[in-house]
Amino acid sequence: MKKRIFAALLCVIMMFGMLPITALAAEPKRIYVDATEGNDKNDGLQEDRPYKTVEKAVEAAESGDTIQLGEGNYTLYGVDSGTTTKGKDLTFVGLGTEKTAWNIGAEVPNPDNFGTEYNGDYSFDGAGTVTFQNMTLRSGKADYLGFIRANNTVVENCTINGETCYWGYKSATFKNTIFNCPDGRYALWTYSSPTMTFENCTFNSSGKVINVY
């Protein structure tokens, strides 16, 4: 009898011992970035104390966090994903397509790398699901541009200028997105995504739209 009582008490103690772990589980947070008014010495957790660079924000972010971008141009091109985005699900939200822009890859792709993936953007290499909302995404006219080796990508309420080839390596979803194709080129290739979904999208093109590679 005493053994049964002891076992029951032990179970109760173990259950209560687990409560603080559940209670202390981190809630997803919103991190603020302002390319003009921000400062990387801020904590980024308040709208009036934003970071200046998106690199600082993704370093501080945990999987599931949202990064609110202010007016301006942003990129992670050239930033090592190993200490910033790898293994994380991240959402980036802009202030609208006229105010917030994200540059995919180098501003001027290296002509020595034309025809290879090395003009791509490795800043989300190994990331989980990466979501872009309410901004303009800027690419170029060279092949093999895009985000290299992110698992899933989601683009919502955005405008994409230029041609892209790499999106999510498991899936890519585009919702309410406007594609502005370079003259005589595709909007995108299904080069890396086995599944691509388009919902209420508009393609402004001169004949080519999607290349099923």
- Supply the mean pLDDT for the chain: 89
In what helix (H) or strand (E) does residue 177 lie, and over which residues does it extend? none
One-letter amino acid for residue 165 of the chain:
C
Instruction: Indicate if the pLDDT at residue 12 is higher than 60.
Output: no
Instruction: Indicate if the pLDDT at residue 135 is higher than 70.
Output: yes
Instruction: Indicate if the pLDDT at residue 5 is higher than 60.
Output: no
HEC string of 136-197? Answer: EEECECCCCCEECCCCEEEEECCEEECEECECCCCEEEEECCEEECCCCCCCEECCCCCCEE
Instruction: Indicate if the pLDDT at residue 17 is higher than 60.
Output: no
Neighbours of 113 (CB within 10 A): 15
Whether 114 contacts 140, CB under 8 Å: no
- In tens, the pLDDT along 145-164 reads 999 999 999 999 999 999 99
pLDDT at position 30 is 98
pLDDT at position 116 is 82
pLDDT at position 23 is 44
Which 8-state DSSP code applies to residue 31? E
Report the pLDDT averaged over residues 69-78.
Answer: 96
3-state secondary structure of 151: coil
Instruction: Outline where the chain has alpha helix (H).
Output: 2-23, 54-60
Q: Beta strand pairing status for 90-93 and 152-156?
A: unpaired
Q: Can you read off the two tokens belonging to residue 206?
A: 């001169």
Report the pLDDT averaged over residues 43-66.
Answer: 97
In this prediction the pTM is: 0.86
As a whole number of angstroms, the distance between CA 71 and CA 96 comes to 9
* Higher per-residue pLDDT: 155 or 21: 155
Instruction: Indicate if the pLDDT at residue 181 is higher than 80.
Output: yes
pLDDT at position 43 is 95
